[in-house]
């Protein structure tokens, strides 16, 4: 690791971009050099946290590429491909917010552009860096539940004012709750099962009048290693106590249960244990998963290492989501009778 600081531009200073700034501010050998957002006041406020230069246009920020080493792309989904490809062409390393693009084709463009330019491309599946996820993965790799055979992923994330209006436009977002929230659950399944997706059956619904994107998805998935999973994703429009995320991984010799930001537990033939967790790490403090992600990105860039979460991972998740859209049964607006 060099003593130099990686100079980073944050493209998009909304909910995700602000968390990235907090994460990088806690990392050695990283410097936020530019912050861009169409909301000029927001750009100035977030840039002021690090002494960065604010921009109202992310393209203008990239024009300062001679002073940059890397970018974080945290823009609306339809801008991901344009921003990432432009950054790669300028020789900038890319930390890409999920989803990798608003379509599989856009994701492939990003992966090819970064590979051709020889820059690091890391996809922001930031929940992999949470304590409960790290522990679950370690238990599986140690063989404590045998071979995963049946999994359940349930995630509900209320739609609120923190989400831009572009989310409700399929042309801009690429989809609804599956593309904004469900991608995290899909990545967790692919990561923990550790096998490519084979087959998909799904039902897709809207919940509110006027919604142009899906707000509820239930999918039955099978994987190349024989494992099965159910994926339930919901985006309620009423207060629902924040995001709720539960994972259960049943293996041939035990089960792991994850409650995001609460606990992870294992019950098996060789081990039984429960660990309480929250949003604060003893070592890394609040926002700790973003800090850990930032550390991994900086290290991969400076040390010339393989991306911790490479483009092919983002493509696998996009392909899985695309198959749900293509193979799913799109039902009418849900109504109580």
Residue 283 binned pLDDT confidence (cut-offs 50, 70, 90): low
Domain 6-126+287-309: top CATH class: alpha beta
Residue 336 binned pLDDT confidence (cut-offs 50, 70, 90): very low
Percent of residues, the chain, with pLDDT higher than 70? 93
Could you give the 3-state DSSP secondary structure of residue 212? coil
On whether the 130-280+318-330 domain is CATH 1.10.10.10, my answer is no
Look-up of token digits 């991608």: 183
Interval 164-198: pLDDT, tens: 788 888 888 899 999 999 999 999 999 999 999 99
Q: Are 122 and 307 in contact (CB under 8 A)?
A: yes
Question: Can you give the pTM of this predicted structure?
Answer: 0.94
| CA 9/CA 34 separation, integer angstroms | 4
Report the pLDDT averaged over residues 27-38.
Answer: 97
Report the pLDDT averaged over residues 83-111.
Answer: 97
Structure letter (DSSP) for residue 27: S
Q: Which residues, listed in sequence order, are joined to residue 233 by a DSSP beta bridge?
A: 155, 217
Interval 189-226: pLDDT, tens: 999 999 999 999 999 999 888 889 999 999 999 999 99
- Count CB neighbours of 55 within 10 A: 25
Residue 157 binned pLDDT confidence (cut-offs 50, 70, 90): confident
**What is the radius of gyration, based on Cα positions, of the chain?**
20
Q: Are 318 and 100 in contact (CB under 8 A)?
A: yes
Close Cβ partners of 142 (under 8 Å, ≥ 6 residues apart):
none
> For the chain, what are the domain ranges?
6-126+287-309, 130-280+318-330
Residue 337 binned pLDDT confidence (cut-offs 50, 70, 90): very low
Report the pLDDT averaged over residues 103-121.
Answer: 98
| CA 78/CA 83 separation, integer angstroms | 10
């Amino acid at each position: 690791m060099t003593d130099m600081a990686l100079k980073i531009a944050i493209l998009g200073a909304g909910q995700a971009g602000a968390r990235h700034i907090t994460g990088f501010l806690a990392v050695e050998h990283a410097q936020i050099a530019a912050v861009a957002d169409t909301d000029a006041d927001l750009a100035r406020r977030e840039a002021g946290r690090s002494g960065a230069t604010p921009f109202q246009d992310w393209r203008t920020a990239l024009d300062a590429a001679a002073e940059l080493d890397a970018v974080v792309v945290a823009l609306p989904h339809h801008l991901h491909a344009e921003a990432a490809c432009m950054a790669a062409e300028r020789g900038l390393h890319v930390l890409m917010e999920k989803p990798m693009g608003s379509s599989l084709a856009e994701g492939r463009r990003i992966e090819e552009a970064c590979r051709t330019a020889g820059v690091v491309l890391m996809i922001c599946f930031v929940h992999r860096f949470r304590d409960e996820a790290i522990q679950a993965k370690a238990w599986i790799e140690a063989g404590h539940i045998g071979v995963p055979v049946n999994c359940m992923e349930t995630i509900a994330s209320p739609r609120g004012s923190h989400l831009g209006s572009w989310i409700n436009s399929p042309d801009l977002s690429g989809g609804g709750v599956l593309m904004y929230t469900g991608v995290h659950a899909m990545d967790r399944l692919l990561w923990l099962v550790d096998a490519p997706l084979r087959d998909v059956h799904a039902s897709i619904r809207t919940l509110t009048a006027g919604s142009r994107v899906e707000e509820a998805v239930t999918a039955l998935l099978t994987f190349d290693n024989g494992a099965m999973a159910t994926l339930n994703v919901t985006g309620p429009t009423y207060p629902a106590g924040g995001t709720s995320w539960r994972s259960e991984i049943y293996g041939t010799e035990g089960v792991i249960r994850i409650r995001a930001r609460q606990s992870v537990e294992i019950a098996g033939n060789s081990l039984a244990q429960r660990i309480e967790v929250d949003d604060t790490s003893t070592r890394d403090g609040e926002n700790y998963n973003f800090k850990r992600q930032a550390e991994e990105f900086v290290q991969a860039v400076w040390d010339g290492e393989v991306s911790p979460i490479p483009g092919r991972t983002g493509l696998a998740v996009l392909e899985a989501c695309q198959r749900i859209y293509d193979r799913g049964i799109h039902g009418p607006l849900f109504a109580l009778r």
